[in-house]
Amino acid sequence: MKRIVLIIATAICAVCLFGCSGSKSNQVDDSFGFVKEDFEITEEKDSHGGFVGDGDYYLILDCSKNQEKVDEIISDWKALPLSENLELIMYGGTKDGTTYSYELYKIGNFPKIENGYYKFIDRNSNVSKESGDASDDSNLFKRHSFNFSIAMYDSDTKTMYYLEFDT
């Protein structure tokens, strides 16, 4: 009997620890159109964990040796600057008397990019109820939690920055 309990407990632990993990490469490819292995990985860190999967994942890619691929990827991205809401969540600031101090650029070492492109995907479960458009950030601050991904490409340095943020 003790063996059965031990086997079941081990199986549950294994599912909790490994079952929720997925290939970040596949997730980036599916949502943003690029595979990180096509470029030189400069920096990468994933702090997601536990049962609910809160945390962040960031990736910095040197894209200088594969510009043709980058041009393909960013063809449907928006030109910088970021929208007001994305600017506030990434770099902080004040809007309507409220100070936003999230400063998520610090998590993924995002510099302030002057020339480039970005893509935002809101992965919150309420997106379909609100606007149905995952690239719409207008409801970003009307929630109790965040689940989104953003990628920015710096045209001057040929560097791609990617951040997945889940609370």
> So where are the chain's domains?
22-166
Task: Find the radius of gyration of the CA atoms of the chain.
Answer: 18
Is 13 exposed, middle or buried (CB count within 10 Å of its CB: 0-12, 13-18, 19+)? exposed
Which residues lie below 8 Å from residue 84, measured CB to CB, with a gap of 6+? 95
> Whole-angstrom Cα distance, residue 3 to residue 132?
49
Would you place residue 9 in the very low, low, confident or very high pLDDT band (cuts 50, 70, 90)?
very low
HSE-CB at 67 with a 13 A cutoff on CA atoms is 6
**CB burial readout 21-52, b (16+ within 10 A) else e:** eeebeeebeebbbbebeebeeeeeeeebeeee
Q: Report which of residues 53 and 11 the model is more confident about.
A: 53
Token pair 């990434």 is found at 90
Residue 133 DSSP code: -
User: pLDDT per residue over 107-149, tens digit each?
Assistant: 989 999 999 999 999 988 776 566 678 899 998 898 888 999 9
Q: H or E element: which one contains 102?
A: none
Nearest-5° angle of CA 150, CA 162, CA 143? 35
Would you place residue 4 in the very low, low, confident or very high pLDDT band (cuts 50, 70, 90)?
low
Report field, pTM of the whole predicted structure over 0.85: no
Token pair 């960013």 is found at 74
Alpha carbon 132 to chain centroid, angstroms? 19
